[in-house]
């Protein structure tokens, strides 16, 4: 088994520490001596007990990650959501000459705002460029 260790030179000596276990540490005159002493210390501790691993259950939102990965219902829901989103996008059009057509109906008071007109125009030009690159 391999375990990472941290070796540091301090005041003419070397400290070797078992990574993640700060109380398992040794100080020796040489780097090699510190590594060997740490190995011996770990061997002694393991000989007295067992070195095991346990599973820790995830907490929060990560606990449900992947829980529905094989649920075909989600595919249908996503497909419908994407279809509605795309239909909504496609119903809006932008013509620099005519201004905001579909958007102006929804934007109401902001339909004649030149800043909004330019922002929406940039969005649609970017969208069209993305579509053209496919």
Tell me what pLDDT residue 36 has.
Answer: 98
Would you say how long the chain is, in residues?
Answer: 134
Is 93 within the bounds of a domain?
yes
Give me the domain span that covers residue 21: 5-48
Is 60 within the bounds of a domain?
no
Tell me what pLDDT residue 105 has.
Answer: 56
Is 59 within the bounds of a domain?
no
Tell me what pLDDT residue 125 has.
Answer: 81
* 11-46 burial: b if 16+ Cβ within 10 Å, else e: eeebbbbbeeeeebbbbbeeeeebbebbeeebeeee
For the record, the structure tokens of 87 come out as 């239909």
Is 62 within the bounds of a domain?
no
Domain co-membership, 36 together with 77: no
Query: Is residue 124 left, alpha or beta, with left meaning phi > 0 and alpha meaning psi from -120 to 50?
Result: alpha
Domain co-membership, 120 together with 81: yes
Q: What is the pLDDT along the chain (134 residues), one digit of tens a residue?
A: 788 999 999 999 999 999 999 999 999 999 999 999 999 999 998 899 887 889 887 777 776 777 777 888 888 888 888 888 887 766 665 555 555 555 555 556 666 777 777 887 788 788 777 776 66
Domain co-membership, 39 together with 74: no
Tell me what pLDDT residue 11 has.
Answer: 93
Number of structural domains in the chain: 2
């Amino acid at each position: 088994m391999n375990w990472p260790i941290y070796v540091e030179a301090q005041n003419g000596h070397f400290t070797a520490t078992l990574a993640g276990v700060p109380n398992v540490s040794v100080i020796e005159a040489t780097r090699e001596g510190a590594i060997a002493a740490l190995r011996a210390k770990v061997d002694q501790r393991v000989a007295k007990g067992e070195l095991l691993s346990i599973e820790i259950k995830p907490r929060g939102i990560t606990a449900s990650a992947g829980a529905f990965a094989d649920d075909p219902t989600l595919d249908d829901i996503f497909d419908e959501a994407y279809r509605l989103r795309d239909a909504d996008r496609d119903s809006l059009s932008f013509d620099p000459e005519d201004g905001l057509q579909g958007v102006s109906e929804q934007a109401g008071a902001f339909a004649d705002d030149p800043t909004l007109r330019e922002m929406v125009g940039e969005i649609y030009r970017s969208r069209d460029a993305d579509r053209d690159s496919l």
